[in-house]
Amino acid sequence: MKRIYPFIIFIYLACVTAFAAAAPKGIDSLKNRVFAANGHIKANDTITVNNLNKLADNCYESAPDSTIYYSDLAIGIAKKINYQKGIAAAYVNIALVNSFKGDYTTANTNYKIALHLYKQINNQFGISEAYMGLGRVQDFLGNYDTAIHFFEQALAIRIKLRKEIDIADCYGLMGITYDNKGKFSKALDYYFKALIIQARLNEQLAAADNYCNIGVVMQHLELYSKALDYFDKANKIWLKLNDKQGISTCYQNIGEVMMSQKNYPKAIGYFKRASAIYHDLGDEEGISLIYYDLGLYHYYTSKPDSALYYLNMSLQSASKNKIQYNKAYAYVGLALIYSLEKKYDEAYKYALLAQHTANNLQSLNTRAEATLQLSKALAGLKQFEEAYAQNQLYLTLKDSLKNDESLQKLLSYNMAIEFENNQRKTSQKEEALVQKIAEQRRTNIIAAIIIVVITTMLIVYYNAKRKQLKANALLAEKNKEVLIQTEKLNELNILKDRLIGILAHDLRAPLSTLRGMFSLMADKDITHTEFIDMVPGVFGKLEHTSDFLDTLLFWINSQVDNIEDTTKSFCLCDLVKAELANLEDQFKLKNITPVNKVGPGHMAFADPNSIRIVIHNFLTNAIKFSYVDSTIEISARMENEKVYFMVTDQGIGMSAEQLNRLFISKVTSHIGTMNESGTGMGLIFCKDLIEKYNGEIWAKSILHEGTELGFALAAGEAADTTPNSDQLQ
């Protein structure tokens, strides 16, 4: 029969009671904290070491090899940063797996390393963990008194620290050791102490371990129905949490009960399921015990050769891994079968080995079984006096065992009844609390109904009053909307009047001039030379009027809904070059030097024709208000997936009042440094065009120092999407 060792809660353990559904998620979360997308560790720090140790802890129940892997990583990083606590915790994790796989020498060494490190930093809980691990190793090796000494040291520390769940773990391990010694009453005492704490704290996984171990004691005492009850309680939790170690242990123990009840078909089914999981996990103790059970099964089903095969396999495994308890039972099994096969020399050899091992273990039950087989072997060898002596010793041990068992059966019943009574009292308290809560809820419902009735009456009155206030508020809101609409309409009328005035003035003036000039020429009032002299002035006015019409018509077109979407990526540098070429004469007229800092990487995403109009207006505005022999800087930058464009001049600048009214419909035009006139509408159109493409426009200016006009648009992709010369017309 196999006991289940409680899963020790290490310093970094956080998820020992998590449900199986949550465990993978917790492991994935820890992996994401530790490893980058490329599989490399994110950082070499204490947090990473702690997370690796948590990851190792979480993997122990289902993937012990992963525990070794993550612990090795933790040690490597912890040594680099001299983090002793992290190193010690990793060694405890590794030692736990060493014990599980039967490598007790290495486990003992690793626990001692951890103990030394914990003592150096005076980590009391860590010291208790190392003592617990050393006790487990000694228990596996059959040194039960030494194991109990280590457990008592750990328990004393944990009681001082007042860590209840860790105290319960210590009780559980001490129960296992007393169980192995055959001291079932003490074992049950510690098991139930642990179980009471775990039940109160709802530690399901730890409670399952103790349910199973109590079932093992009941199995020893031949209380099979109770044993099955406890195994069933444990297995329900393990199946829910997908704890493979627990499930395999439960299958084996249930199989042994079935075999004791001579239900061999059911027994072999459980043994096979347990064996498959043991081999999958590499559980050496479980493998050794299942071979022993399979040997007995084949003996009881009249297959002595197979029985010997499996018992020898059990002995080899127990010897290899130094599991003294399993060795003793393997020797007893071999002695039994060789006696039945009348091979008394072999039976005698194994009976002596069994007795010697059992005496070292100080296990009363094992000593009795070994002595019985030695008596039978000696009788078969016709050494009757010695056989009689051994038989008398067996009877003495058996009587002692029976007396002890009777007392232990009584104690086990009393303990089980006491535990069940405690559970019943707890349930009754919970039921009383639930009933009290229900009564309070009913009282609350009645009070709530009264409040609702009163509230309803108040609401009816309030609504009657509120309707009038709401009607008044609605009327006021409508009046406010009317005022806002009136103001917007007035602004539109002002804009309309302004546009009409501009059209009347700016279109009529150059046309009248042109008509007058041609009239004079037709009447021959001016000479051809005089006509030629007048042409540049008239052409300038026509050029200004044409530019204004282009801007106005493009803006009007942009206001029309459902026009074709011409948005695309383009380079601002191409638009700037085109506009600088178009305005070359105006730059030369004032001897202004344009400084172009816009490069091929300054990509925007909008309609290039719209942005060309904006850049054109920025440049003509800068020329208009710049002094002779000055410079105009055109620049751009990429930032936060946007492109920023600026035109900066060294002209007359603007006052704060002018700057605040620059982009509103009531703007008035100002003359330039060479008395250039304008409409005052260009920047208003620019604002509409930029905002249409979710951009922003701004102006910065200092009076008598210069002005910066700029806009920001979404950045475009670097591709050959620059509009050609035909598209820019």
Q: How confident is the model at residue 728 (pLDDT cuts 50, 70, 90)?
A: very low
Which pLDDT score, from 0 to 100, does residue 675 have? 76
Q: Which of 58-72, 185-199, 521-535 has the lowest mean pLDDT?
A: 521-535
Residue 508 pLDDT > 80, yes or no?
no
Residue 44 pLDDT > 70, yes or no?
yes
Q: How confident is the model at residue 192 (pLDDT cuts 50, 70, 90)?
A: confident
What does R_g of the chain's alpha carbons equal in angstroms?
48
Which pLDDT score, from 0 to 100, does residue 510 have? 64
Q: Quick: pLDDT tens for 321-352.
A: 878 878 888 998 898 888 888 888 998 999 89
**163: helix, strand or coil:** coil
Q: How many whole angstroms separate alpha carbon 469 and alpha carbon 464? A: 9
- Token pair of 686, please? 């620019």
Q: How confident is the model at residue 603 (pLDDT cuts 50, 70, 90)?
A: very high
Mean pLDDT estimate for the chain? 82
Which pLDDT score, from 0 to 100, does residue 236 have? 92
Q: How confident is the model at residue 571 (pLDDT cuts 50, 70, 90)?
A: very high
Residue 425 pLDDT > 90, yes or no?
no
Residue from 608, 600, 607, 594 nearest 649 by CA: 594
Angle at 404 between CA 401 and CA 410, to 5 degrees: 135
Which pLDDT score, from 0 to 100, does residue 618 have? 92
Residue from 355, 330, 322, 356 nearest 140 by CA: 322
Question: Does a structural domain hold residue 453?
Answer: no
Q: How confident is the model at residue 539 (pLDDT cuts 50, 70, 90)?
A: confident
Provide the residue count of the chain: 729
Which pLDDT score, from 0 to 100, does residue 681 have? 66
Question: Does a structural domain hold residue 411?
Answer: no
Which pLDDT score, from 0 to 100, does residue 726 have? 45
Residue 309 pLDDT > 80, yes or no?
yes
* pLDDT cut 90: percent of the chain above it: 32
Residue 198 · residue 206 · CB < 8 Å: yes
Summarize the confidence of residues 382-387 as an average pLDDT: 87
Which pLDDT score, from 0 to 100, does residue 496 have? 63
Q: Which of 77-91, 100-114, 409-423, 556-570 has the lowest mean pLDDT?
A: 409-423
Residue 24 pLDDT > 70, yes or no?
no
* pLDDT cut 70: percent of the chain above it: 82
Summarize the confidence of residues 270-290 as an average pLDDT: 90
Q: How far is CA 67 from CA 56, 276, 457, 502, 532, in A?
A: 4, 21, 68, 84, 98
Domain carrying residue 120: 1-201
Question: Does a structural domain hold residue 259?
Answer: no
Question: Does a structural domain hold residue 33?
Answer: yes
Residue-wise burial string across 575-607, b where 16 or more C-beta atoms lie within 10 A, e elsewhere: bbebbbeebeebbeebebebeeebeeebbbbbb
Q: How many whole angstroms separate alpha carbon 675 and alpha carbon 9? A: 89
Q: Which of 26-35, 258-267, 416-425, 437-446 has the lowest mean pLDDT?
A: 416-425
Summarize the confidence of residues 118-126 as an average pLDDT: 94
Residue from 84, 86, 112, 87 nearest 98 by CA: 112
Residue 629 pLDDT > 80, yes or no?
yes
Which pLDDT score, from 0 to 100, does residue 679 have? 60
**706: helix, strand or coil:** strand
Which pLDDT score, from 0 to 100, does residue 423 have? 64
Residue 175 pLDDT > 50, yes or no?
yes
Summarize the confidence of residues 220-245 as an average pLDDT: 88
Domain boundary among 152, 172, 201: 201
- Token pair of 652, please? 């007359």
Residue 9 belongs to a domain with what CATH number? 1.25.40.10
Residue 325 · residue 361 · CB < 8 Å: yes
Which pLDDT score, from 0 to 100, does residue 221 have? 77
Which pLDDT score, from 0 to 100, does residue 11 have? 31
User: The whole model's pTM is what?
Assistant: 0.49
Which pLDDT score, from 0 to 100, does residue 613 have? 87
Say how many CA atoms lie within 13 Å of 353 toward its Cβ.
21
Q: How many whole angstroms separate alpha carbon 174 and alpha carbon 139? A: 9
Residue-wise burial string across 468-477, b where 16 or more C-beta atoms lie within 10 A, e elsewhere: eeeeeeeeee
Question: Does a structural domain hold residue 71?
Answer: yes
Q: How many whole angstroms separate alpha carbon 204 and alpha carbon 236? A: 10
Which pLDDT score, from 0 to 100, does residue 109 have? 94
Domain boundary among 201, 230, 258: 201
Which of 78 and 430 is assigned the larger pLDDT? 78
Residue 665 belongs to a domain with what CATH number? 3.30.565.10
Which pLDDT score, from 0 to 100, does residue 28 have? 78
Long-range interactions of 691-700: CB distance < 8 A, separation 24+: 692/558, 692/610, 693/567, 693/605, 693/606, 693/607, 693/610, 695/606, 697/614, 697/663, 699/654, 699/659, 699/662, 699/663, 700/659
Which pLDDT score, from 0 to 100, does residue 76 have? 92
Residue 468 pLDDT > 90, yes or no?
no
Q: How confident is the model at residue 416 (pLDDT cuts 50, 70, 90)?
A: low
Residue with tokens 């090899």: 65
Domain boundary among 161, 181, 201: 201
Summarize the confidence of residues 4-9 as an average pLDDT: 50
Which pLDDT score, from 0 to 100, does residue 547 have? 64
Total domains in the fold of the chain: 2
Residue 597 pLDDT > 90, yes or no?
yes
Question: Does a structural domain hold residue 423?
Answer: no
Q: How confident is the model at residue 551 (pLDDT cuts 50, 70, 90)?
A: low
Q: Quick: pLDDT tens for 697-727.
A: 999 999 989 999 999 999 998 765 444 444 4
Q: How many whole angstroms separate alpha carbon 333 and alpha carbon 293? A: 10
Residue 614 pLDDT > 70, yes or no?
yes
Q: How confident is the model at residue 406 (pLDDT cuts 50, 70, 90)?
A: very low
What order do you get walking across the sheet with 696-702 strand by strand? 593-596, 631-639, 642-649, 706-714, 696-702
Q: How many whole angstroms separate alpha carbon 703 and alpha carbon 11? A: 71
Q: For residue 636, what are the contacts with CB-CB under 8 A and spacing of at least 6? A: 572, 573, 597, 598, 599, 602, 643, 644, 645, 646
Residue 177 pLDDT > 60, yes or no?
yes
Residue ranges of the alpha helices (H) in 261-363? 264-281, 284-300, 304-320, 324-340, 344-361
Amino acid at 609: N
Summarize the confidence of residues 261-284 as an average pLDDT: 91
Q: Quick: pLDDT tens for 436-452.
A: 888 888 888 998 899 98
Q: How confident is the model at residue 12 (pLDDT cuts 50, 70, 90)?
A: very low
